[in-house]
Amino acid sequence: STTTTNPATNPATNPATNTSTPAAEPFRRRPFVGGNWKMNLLAAEVVALAQSIAAPGGGDGGAGGVDVVVFPPFPYLATVRPVLKPGVQLGGQDCSAEKQGAFTGQVGAAMLRDVGCASVLIGHSERRHGLGETDALLSRKIGQALDAGLVPVLCVGETLAERESGRAHEVIDSQLRGSLAGHAESALATLVVAYEPVWAIGTGRTATPDDAAEAHRTVRRTLKELYSARFSEQVRVIYGGSVNARNAAELLAREEIDGGLVGGASLVASDFAAIIAAASRRS
Ligand code: 13P
């Protein structure tokens, strides 16, 4: 089953090891669309939603292909896995910074991998700001994700106050440096960065394509300084924050924006399908 294929080691889904370049591809990086279901839905709704989602190109890495990943709540990962269509991947919303042991309530990266996850969200703003997760902690979570063979989807983004005081880019830069501290370029080949400005999450106030594109350039500038130009050009940088069926096309038409991390609209099958279709037009 494609849901058990690890994109970190699968050349078809890992741009770092995929040496075949489709001739008609306007953008170099494979689009990535994540549906972050957060703490929503119960089993019956989870199954209906999961069954409705399709990955263009069946997730096989061909033209028109999009990495489509759903991030259900932990209790439903094993429920969702068998009902996903070919190519739709499973992801965890978080993982522990510890490998295993006496950590009540936490979920280990190896457990996520074991239950069929290909990726994991690290440092979502609802955890940074709601639960006080620090960059130092997130760096350890990235280490656990990488050790388990999961694609880390590292979330960064400024608050409204930080943006209004002109510090958005400084915040993005410092979150990246802190969260990636201790990790070598060679270990991070599968990294995805999600730029999610806190003021845009769940507010209906989407970043303009210009603002999002500018923030994504900041992400790449920092990655270039930390690692290399080549690395900064191959990492996927996706946008999250009130992405919906109406604004997705405009955002995803920008060269800098490799995909989306979608909350509310990912709970509505037709809206999520429209966003995936917009991403598919990039490839
Ligand atoms: P919304 O799409 O509901 O704004 O949520 C975005 C988000 O936080 C995805 O991780």
Report percent pLDDT > 90 for the chain: 86
Ligand 1 geometric centre to CA of 80 (Å):
20
For residues 275 and 33, the answer to whether their CB atoms sit within 8 Å is: yes
What token pair was written down for 199?
């003021």
Flag whether pLDDT at 5 surpasses 90: no
Most ligand 1 atoms within 8 A of CB, residue of 33, 36, 129 to mutate: 36
Question: Could you read off the pLDDT of 44-95 as tens digits, one per residue?
Answer: 999 999 999 999 877 666 667 899 999 999 999 999 999 999 999 999 999 9
Report the nearest-CA residue for atom 2 of ligand 1: 263
For residues 185 and 227, the answer to whether their CB atoms sit within 8 Å is: yes
Residue among 126, 196, 216, 256 flagged as catalytic: 196
Q: Please name the residues in contact with 96: beta carbons below 8 A apart, sequence gap of 6 or more.
A: 103, 106, 107, 108, 109, 141, 144
Angle between helices 43-52 and 269-280 (to 10 degrees): 30
How sure is the predictor about 28, in pLDDT bands with cuts at 50, 70 and 90? confident
Q: Strand pairing partners for 156? A: 195
Question: Could you read off the pLDDT of 234-257 as tens digits, one per residue?
Answer: 999 999 999 999 999 999 999 999
- Does the annotation mark 124 as catalytic? yes
Ligand 1 geometric centre to CA of 84 (Å):
21
pTM over 0.75: yes
Is 263 a pocket residue for ligand 1 (Cβ < 6 Å)?
yes
Is 36 a pocket residue for ligand 1 (Cβ < 6 Å)?
yes
Question: Could you read off the pLDDT of 113-128 as tens digits, one per residue?
Answer: 999 999 999 999 999 9
Most ligand 1 atoms within 8 A of CB, residue of 243, 267, 272 to mutate: 243
Helix intervals (H) in the chain: 43-52, 77-80, 109-114, 125-128, 135-147, 160-164, 168-180, 209-226, 229-234, 248-252, 269-280
What token pair was written down for 98?
């510890």
HSE of 20, CA atoms in CB hemisphere, 13 A: 9
Report the nearest-CA residue for atom 5 of ligand 1: 263
- Does the annotation mark 183 as catalytic? no
